[in-house]
Amino acid sequence: MKEFLAKARPFMAPDFHAGLVEAAQATEDEAGGSTLTMDGGSAGYKKFAARVQALATKHKLPWALLVAAGKAAPADEEAADALRRDYAAWLQAAQVADAKADIAELRADAARLLDGQLSKTAEAIRADTAAAMATTLRKLEAAKGAEWAKKFQEDLKYVQWFDGAVAADPANGPRASA
């Protein structure tokens, strides 16, 4: 069982996996340290399955639907279709919930990064920019002769011209036609 759980780890949430491992360990401990096997008829497996059912309920997984979907198809084609629809609907809802959680995490990261940038002083931003430029110039030096390096150096010359034009006449600066 532990080998199976180790192989299945990438396909489940870390907290759910940890709960499954704990359930397997608790079942083995109750059995006096004997190894839990995937034998549906054994008493240890039945205790483990009950723990998994409780864990699935806690994580709001429709364990009855998943068990039914994993078994052989029902003889009644209408019941089989209903089971497939229910499973597909649950799977789609789970994927949408995962996507929403990922988006919320990305928003939180973006807000954290933006807050970090907005809290910097102008001098700190200049220092960061200078450090990034120094790193870029070292990369350009190492890539001498590469096509991207030539184009990037042309872009740097344009940026220097633009910055100079803005510094020379901040009120008017360069025009788009320039």
Please write the tens of the pLDDT for every residue from 41-52: 888 888 888 898
What single letter denotes the amino acid at residue 50? A
At which of 61, 86, 107 does a domain end?
A: 61
For residue 149, is it within any domain?
yes
Between CA 48 and CA 55 the distance in angstroms is 10
pLDDT at site 61: 80
For residue 92, is it within any domain?
no
pLDDT at site 72: 57
At which of 61, 77, 98 does a domain end?
A: 61
Tell me how far apart the terminal alpha carbons of the chain are, to the nearest angstrom: 71
**DSSP state string for 27-81:** HHHHTTSPPP---TTSHHHHHHHHHHHHHHHHTT--HHHHHHHHSPPPSSHHHHH
For residue 144, is it within any domain?
yes
Burial of 176 (0-12, 13-18, 19+ CB in 10 A): exposed
CB 41 within 8 A of CB 6: no
**pLDDT band with cut points at 50, 70 and 90 for residue 3:** confident
For residue 131, is it within any domain?
yes
At which of 33, 61, 89 does a domain end?
A: 61
pLDDT at site 119: 92
pLDDT at site 85: 87
For residue 127, is it within any domain?
yes
For residue 104, is it within any domain?
no
Between CA 143 and CA 56 the distance in angstroms is 54
Q: Is 168 helix (H, G, I), strand (E, B) or coil?
A: helix
**pLDDT band with cut points at 50, 70 and 90 for residue 71:** low
Nearest to 152 by CA among 164, 136, 167: 136
For residue 68, is it within any domain?
no
| Total structural domains within the chain | 2
93-137 confidence digits (pLDDT tens): 888 988 999 999 999 999 999 998 899 998 999 999 999 999 998
For the entire predicted model, the pTM comes to 0.47
28-67 confidence digits (pLDDT tens): 888 887 788 877 788 888 888 889 889 888 888 887 776 7
CB 44 within 8 A of CB 27: yes
What single letter denotes the amino acid at residue 137? L
Nearest to 83 by CA among 60, 103, 67: 67
Range of the domain at 19: 2-61
For residue 81, is it within any domain?
no
Between CA 27 and CA 39 the distance in angstroms is 13
Q: Please say if the pLDDT value at position 177 is more than 70.
A: no
